């Protein structure tokens, strides 16, 4: 990153005591490497739909932790810019981030966030708390406000397993606005152009006691509904064998569901849709016993 000194010696900034924020280090010594730097002069704005955008991502709490998932499509105006984009990434052992918005900036922001968490742990000797991770990501989004106002917004979704919380509240979900506003969501949330349809599907399917398999199927159903009504969202592509990314975070850490498992669940869901195109109905509540 930094230029070497004499004889291949690292630059002086590597030997200067600093804080635990890697993004602050970049801002001080190599600000041009930050993904949040302003790309255009004042008064200029990116042409609408001139850069690939990614949608849709979602997260939900389930019995063992939290699940986070995303479709694979990136669009640019009326074109499909990419069919197999990865929008869900581990941030560390117990945290994952997914994104909607401008793909190039989002990918760089995720990479910087990953380094930020690793740098903090190396400097401080302990990992950052989940709440602190959520606030740190909010700060990075706020630093991107100039670009968002120029048409290059990034809207992440953060999910994590909070080992310091009580057993019933360890799966946590955080959403953001383009100005860095931070909001904790329970028990599920979605972002991106297909998010209203995904949230609508989860409203009828969600149960707090779902197993991993049931939670994964609910996420796939929600993404299918989003793709059904939003052209920017891609459903399972059976022919090309491109399926949504589904990951879980539990006490054991982050795990991306193996592709054979996601493929099998996607086939099961698509087969169900042949007889019920609008998806499964909401589970009817059990009638309460009445006291005579």
Q: List helix spans (H) across the chain.
A: 22-29, 103-124, 130-143, 145-149, 195-205, 212-229, 259-275
**8-state DSSP, 93:** T
Contact 116, 123 (CB under 8 A): no
Residues 6+ apart with CB under 8 A from 69: 57, 58, 59, 88, 98, 216, 219, 220, 223, 244, 245, 246, 247
Q: Burial level of 273, CB count in 10 A (0-12/13-18/19+)?
A: middle
Instruction: Report the b/e string of 184-217 with b at 16+ CB within 10 A.
Output: ebebbbbbbbbbebbbebbeebbeeebebeebbb
Q: Burial level of 287, CB count in 10 A (0-12/13-18/19+)?
A: exposed
Beta pairing partners, 183:
175
- Cα 75 to Cα 54: distance, rounded to the nearest angstrom: 7
Residues 6+ apart with CB under 8 A from 200: 225
- SS3 at position 74: strand
Q: Which residues are catalytic?
A: 55
């Amino acid at each position: 990153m930094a230029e070497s000194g004499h004889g291949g010696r690292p630059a002086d900034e590597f030997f200067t005591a600093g804080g635990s924020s890697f993004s602050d280090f970049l801002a001080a010594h190599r600000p041009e490497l930050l993904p949040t730097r302003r790309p255009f002069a004042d008064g200029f704005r990116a042409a609408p739909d001139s850069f690939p955008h990614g949608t849709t991502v979602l997260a939900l709490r389930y019995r063992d932790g939290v699940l986070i998932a995303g479709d694979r499509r990136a669009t640019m105006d009326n074109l499909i810019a990419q069919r197999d984009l990865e929008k869900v990434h581990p941030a560390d052992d117990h945290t994952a981030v997914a994104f909607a918005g401008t793909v190039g900036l989002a990918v760089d922001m995720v990479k910087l966030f990953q380094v930020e968490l690793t740098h903090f742990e190396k400097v401080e000797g302990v990992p950052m708390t989940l709440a602190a991770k959520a606030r740190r990501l909010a700060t990075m989004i706020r630093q991107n406000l100039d670009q968002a106002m120029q048409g290059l917004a990034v809207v992440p979704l953060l999910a994590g397993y909070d080992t310091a919380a009580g057993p019933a509240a360890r799966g946590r979900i955080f959403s953001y606005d383009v100005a860095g506003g931070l909001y904790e969501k329970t028990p599920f949330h979605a972002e991106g152009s297909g998010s209203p349809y995904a949230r609508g599907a989860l409203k009828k399917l969600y149960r707090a006691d779902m197993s991993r398999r049931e939670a994964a199927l609910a996420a796939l159903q929600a993404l299918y509904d989003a793709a059904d009504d939003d052209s920017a969202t891609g459903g399972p592509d059976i022919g090309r064998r491109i399926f949504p990314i589904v990951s879980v975070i539990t006490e054991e850490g982050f795990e991306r569901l193996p592709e054979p498992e996601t493929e099998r669940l996607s086939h099961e869901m698509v087969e169900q849709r042949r007889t019920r195109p609008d998806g499964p109905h909401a589970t009817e509540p059990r009638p309460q016993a009445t006291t005579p």
